[in-house]
Structure 1
Amino acid sequence: MPATAATSAPDRLLLLHELPPGKSTGRVTVWRRLRRIGAESVGAAWALPLDEENREAFEWLRGEIVALGGRCAIFEAREVSGAGGPDETAEVARLERSGYRRRVWVTRPRPGIDRMASAWLIRRFVDPEARFEFSEKAPGGRSRRIAFDMFGAAFGHRGRRCSFEVLAASFGLKESRIRELGGLVRAVDLHEEAADPAAARMIERLVAGLRASHADDFGLLEAGMALFEALYSSPPPGAGTGQRAGARPAPRDGKERRQRR
């Protein structure tokens, strides 16, 4: 009798990992090595066919991740029939913004470009009264605190998409300007080639300057959100210097800006 889906033997290896904040070079190195050995992105995990050679490759990589101060786990799994391989252009499940209002959004300390952009997107389009917290671990259980751009977060990297792009897709934000910003964020965050290299270099330098000049994480995040509001509101090349059509200022109400409650 053929094996059923419930009793099929594992046929894949999955690697889950997390690197500490401030390890951007190590993060890119790990990502490149995963690509080099042929691993495929499946949600928050990386997958290879189950065999001894691939197990050894993952074990070597786990050692490097741990040496960088990170965490890593390797699992055996079975590919679900009909699920197919990872598709970096696959649709992201649409979510209703009304179910994500007046929440506390949690991310890692020392926000970088993806977390700055994601926080701006959340407060600008999803949750105008969003408050933010910083933690090394994502909240568990049925907490009303929502994690983003961190290990175990619902809104994190997916395939080649950065967290900003996953959030935009999840809440149906399809405006061309948001797509452009998403491409720049992804290029800087993952060290990919940008459609506009000069713009990517400029934003990378601005973010680095903010990180160098703000010791407080809350102040850093606020400054990063202000940066992305300015980028979003700026006119496209050749369109003059007036306010971008349809732009509205980001929420400035004191209640909305208090994040330390």
Structure 2
Amino acid sequence: MPSPTTISVDKLSRLYGTPGCPTLIDVRTDEDFAATPRFVPGAVRRPHGSASDWAGTLAARQAVVICQQGRKLSEGVAAWLRHQGIPAEALEGGFEAWTAAGLPTVPEERIPSRDGKGRSVWVTRARPKIDRIACPWLIRRFVDPKAVFLFVAPQEVEAVAERFGAAPFDVENVFWSHRGELCTFDVMVEEFGLGTEPLLRLARVVRGADTGRLDLEPEAAGLLAASLGLSRTFSDDLAQLDAGMTLYDAFYRWARDATGETHNWPSAKSGGAK
């Protein structure tokens, strides 16, 4: 019988990467984390020993707590969160069960240094179209839900990155950029260890739209049209990013769950309603 205080790996695997994903909190010991310095996608580290101090400051609608084996550390922290009024569950089997299921994990070394509020900070060119919306979506959904994105004049990206401790992306001569035929979104999917079939499919759509190779996937033309429409609709880059999050949420759910589904208007001749 399932425990009322836990969530299964299978259930969490359907939630991660979506807008409805709970806040994921990694409370593994320093020794366990050092042995495998990787995260369940979107998880953040918190010390289990001081849970009674930080539990009340956590801004979350609900949470899932992850320790090494899903036992005392995650159960205890989840209980403290519930004490503070946050619905919280421990991940059954913990980090070990997640990796045993073959699910992706994000390497700590690829996540930029965080600011004083625990957020990774990224900077790119203003007036985004495709890659510069797709990449922030990927980061917020699978790497750092609290990530900050700065959009600046193209010639100032690298200087802003240096002065403000931000990671530059989608500009020339930086780590997070195009590589050969791959666009920046492709690179991030690979470097963050997120090469699941849905994200690889979405990456082909993004690459096709971003590089003008609309033959790569039939949906690339639709993404290009929607992206250009968003760019014309919003003069504020952050407002465009907010709208783009919903767009990419939809494309991801299509890539994960609906690629085999079609839609046809039912006609009266075939028995449909008039």
Please give the secondary structure, in 2, of the residue aligned with 1:202.
helix
1:4-19 equivalence runs, <5 A: none
% same residue: 38
Tell me what 2:146 maps to: 129
Task: Work out whether 1:153 is the aligned partner of 2:165.
Answer: no
Q: Is the 8 A contact 2:231 2:240 kept in 1?
A: yes
Q: Give 1:105-116 correspondences, 5 Å limit.
A: 105-116=122-133
The answer for the alignment partner of 1:236 in structure 2 is 258
Summarize the Cα distance change of 1:201–1:120 in structure 2 as closer, same or farther, 3 Å threshold.
same
Change (3 A) 1:220 1:194: same
CA RMSD of aligned residues (A): 2.3
Distance verdict in 2 for CA 1:153–1:223, change over 3 Å: farther
Letter in 2 for 1:191: G
Q: Which residue of 1 aligns with 2:272?
A: none
Q: Pick from 181, 185, 188: which aligns with 1:167?
A: 188
Amino acid at match of 2:108: E
For residues 199 and 110 of structure 2, what CA distance do their matches in structure 1 show? 20
One-letter identity of the residue aligned with 1:200: A
Is 1:209–2:229 an aligned residue pair?
Answer: yes
For 1:1-261, what aligned pairs fall within 5 Å after superposition? 95-96=107-108, 99-100=111-112, 102-135=119-152, 136=154, 137-138=157-158, 139-141=160-162, 144-197=165-218, 199-234=219-254, 235-239=257-261
**3-state DSSP of counterpart to 2:179:** coil
Aligned length: 147
SS at match of 2:150: strand
Following superposition, the deviation at residue 132 of structure 1 comes to: 0.8
| Structure 2 letter corresponding to 1:153 | V
Q: Is the 8 A contact 1:97 1:126 kept in 2?
A: no
Unaligned runs of 5+ in 1: 1-93, 242-261
| 1:116–1:224 Cα contact (<8 Å) kept | yes
8 Å CA contact 2:185, 2:203 repeated in 1: yes
Please say which of residues 155-164 and 187-196 is displaced more in the overlay: 187-196
| Structure 2: tracts of 5 or more residues without a match | 1-105, 264-274
Cα distance in 1 for partners of 2:217, 2:235 equals: 30
State the structure with bigger RCO (CA 8 A, min sep 6), 1 or 2. Answer: 1
Secondary structure at 1:220 match in 2: helix
- Equivalent residue for 2:52? none
Cα drift, residue 167 of structure 1? 0.7
Label 1:229 to 1:134 Cα distance change in 2 as closer, same or farther (>3 A). Answer: same
Return the TM-score normalized by structure 2.
0.49
Deviation at 1:203, TM superposition (A): 1.1
Q: How far apart are residue 195 of structure 1 and its match?
A: 3.4
